[in-house]
Amino acid sequence: MKLSERALRSATAECTPSCRASRSAVHRVAEERPRVLSPELTNRPGARRVPREPTTEQLPQRRTMRLYLFRHGPAGDKHAWKGADAERPLTAEGAETTRAVCARLAEIGLVPDAIVTSPYVRSSQTADALAEALGGPEPRVDERLAPGFSADDLDAVLADHPGDEVVLVGHDPDFSALVAELTGAHVRVRKGGIVRIDLPEPGSRDGLLVWLAPPRLMR
């Protein structure tokens, strides 16, 4: 089955009521258009001020950034793992799941300007799989994406890794909390899952949750 952006949006429409309410509120704001008065009407003495629809040239042009939060794939049991948590890798099944998700992302046409990953092995492996599936770009490691990543860290990361489409690869509960901070939607980003959020500009907290794709949907 060929996966599309439309299918992902449709699946996300089944999310929690708070998510739907947040999305509706953002759409209402986005659909509001400024009212421009016609000079030939407003300059005439005693004329009634009648608003007219603005032309495309008169509308403010807003740059939208696409931010993707990609949680690393399934890793080994942290309680059974004897080494440092940062070194815990994807399981064989987790690596397979991750490759399948990345193949789907390539299928829907994801072409990011940057892939930025946590330094943890499981995240770096996920980022490498994504870059391989997409044909680039080369993942960049950023220590701030390690567990504990916050909205304040996000602003700094996006400033250092600019682009219209940026994929961040990291951890939860950080990403789920970040979705709530940016969009008001309370969702859970599962291992191997990915979220697309549209932002009016980097640093904005008025984001729109466009879709949320758990790994089972992407396989």
pLDDT at 1 over 90: no
pLDDT higher for 36 or 94?
Answer: 94
- Give the DSSP letter of residue 166: E
Report the chain's mean pLDDT, rounded to a whole number: 83
**Is residue 166 scored above 90 in pLDDT?**
yes
Query: Which pLDDT band holds residue 27 (cuts at 50, 70, 90)?
Result: very low
SS3 call for 162: coil
pLDDT score of 116: 99
pLDDT category of residue 219 using cuts at 50, 70 and 90: confident
Q: What are phi and psi of 207, to 5 degrees?
A: -80, 160
- Minimal CA–CA distance to 217: which of 200, 201, 194, 196? 194
Q: Which two tokens stand for residue 17?
A: 């009521």
Q: What is the mean pLDDT of residues 189-197?
A: 97
**Per-residue pLDDT, 183:** 97
Number of C-alpha atoms within 13 angstroms, CB side, residue 73? Answer: 26
Q: Residue 36 pLDDT more than 80?
A: no
- Report in angstroms the alpha-carbon separations of 75 from 95, 119, 143, 188: 8, 15, 19, 17
Question: Can you tell me the distance from the alpha carbon of 15 to that of 185, in angstroms, rounded to the nearest whole number?
Answer: 9
Per-residue model confidence (pLDDT) at position 49: 47
Q: What is the pLDDT of residues 70-79, one digit of tens each?
A: 999 999 898 8
What is the rounded average pLDDT of the residues 21-26?
42
Least confident of 12-16, 29-33, 176-180: 29-33
Amino acid 31: pLDDT: 42
Question: Which pLDDT value is given to residue 39?
Answer: 41
Query: What percent of the chain clears pLDDT 90, i.e. is strictly above it?
Result: 65
Q: What is the architecture of the domain spanning 5-77+84-218?
A: 3-Layer(aba) Sandwich (3.40)
* Distance (Å, whole) CA 62 – CA 81: 47
Query: With 90 as the cut, is the pLDDT of residue 218 above it?
Result: no
